Amino acid sequence: MNLILLQDDDFKSDSVVVLTDHRLQHVLTVHRSDIGDSLKVGKVGGMMGTGKVIELTTDQLQLDICLDQPPPPPLPLTLLLALPRPKMLKRVLQSVTSLGVKQIYLINSYRVEKSFWGSPLLQPEKLQEQLLLGLEQARDTILPQVHLKPLFKPFVEDELPQIAAGTNAYVAHPLAASSCPIGRNGPITLAIGPEGGFIPYEVEKLQKQGFTPISLGDRILRVETAVPVLLSRFANG
C-alpha cells in the first residue's frame, strides 16, 4: 500500500480522518508508524498529500491530513479487453489501473466462456476492490470506469465508432504483420482479445471500425502479460 486511500466516511472534519479497518492494520504491521510520522494519503476522486499520525492504537488511526497535490495524469488510452477468466481479471484490473488507464471496456468474444459473465467479480463492489488496489500501488486517486459489454457485434457496430473517434485505434493480434508502435501520437483505443486472440471475424469487424492489427512479435503471451507490455509501449508520447 503505497498510498492510503481515503473515503468520505473517514473524515471527522476537513483535516482529520479516523481509520479502523485494513488500512489501520497495514500501518501497524507494514509501515510500523508512530505518533508524528507522515504517511502518503489521497482522497478517492480527489487530491493527494500527507497525513500526520496524531493518534495510533490497535483500535484506530487518526491522521491530520493536508491534500495539496494532484494525482498523476491519466494514460490517454481506452482499453477494450475481452473478458478474461476471473482470477486473471483481478490481476489485469490491478495492473491496468496502476498504469493509469481510466476507461476499461470488458467485451465479449467467441473465445470468452459464457460462464465468465456470471462471475461475482463483475459486481460493482468487487470490481472496485481491484481498482482500489491498483490505485494504492501506483499512488493515484482517480478510479477507472469499467463498462461491461457482453454482446460483441452490437457494441462494435453501435457504440465503438463514437468511443474510438479521434483516437489511433489498434487491435492486438498474434498474426498481425505490423509491430506494436512505441510511444503515441495522440489518444489511443486498444483492443486486446482473449487467450488465443480474437477470431478472424472479430478482427475484421474491428478493422471496419478503423482498428489496425498489431503484434508483439513471434512470442505468444498470456493476456495478463500482454496487457501491461502493450500499455507500456504507449505510456510515453
Q: What is the DSSP string of 21-87?
A: SHHHHHIIIII---TT-EEEEEETTS-EEEEEEEEE-SS-EEEEEEEEEPPPPPPSEEEEEE---HH
Q: Give the model's pLDDT for residue 166.
A: 95
Report the share of the chain in percent with pLDDT over 90: 85
Give this prediction's pTM.
0.93
pLDDT tens readout for residues 42-96? 999 999 999 999 999 999 999 999 999 999 999 999 999 999 999 999 999 999 9
Cell of 214: 498489431
More confidently predicted of 100 and 223: 100
Q: Give the model's pLDDT for residue 116.
A: 96
Q: Give the model's pLDDT for residue 143.
A: 98
Q: Is the Cβ–Cβ distance between 51 and 63 less than 8 Å?
A: yes
Average pLDDT, integer, range 112-123: 96
Q: Where are the beta strands (DSSP E) in the chain?
A: 4-6, 16-19, 38-43, 48-56, 61-69, 77-82, 103-107, 145-149, 168-172, 188-192, 212-214
Q: Give the model's pLDDT for residue 101.
A: 97
For 120, which DSSP code?
A: G
For 211, which DSSP code?
A: P
pLDDT tens readout for residues 198-227? 999 999 999 999 999 998 877 777 888 889
Question: Looking at domain 77-233, what is its CATH homologous superfamily?
Answer: SPOUT methyltransferase, trefoil knot domain (3.40.1280.10)
Rounded to the nearest angstrom, the gap between the alpha carbon of residue 104 and the centroid of all alpha carbons in its chain is: 7
Q: Report d(CA 6, CA 46) in Å as an integer.
A: 9
Average pLDDT, integer, range 96-111: 97
* CATH class of the domain whose range is 4-69: mainly beta
Q: Is the Cβ–Cβ distance between 104 and 96 less than 8 Å?
A: yes
Average pLDDT, integer, range 10-28: 95
Q: Report d(CA 188, CA 214) in Å as an integer.
A: 13
* Residue 23: closest CA among 60, 70, 50: 60
Residue ranges of the domains in the chain?
4-69, 77-233
Which residues, listed in sequence order, are joined to residue 212 by a DSSP beta bridge?
Answer: 170
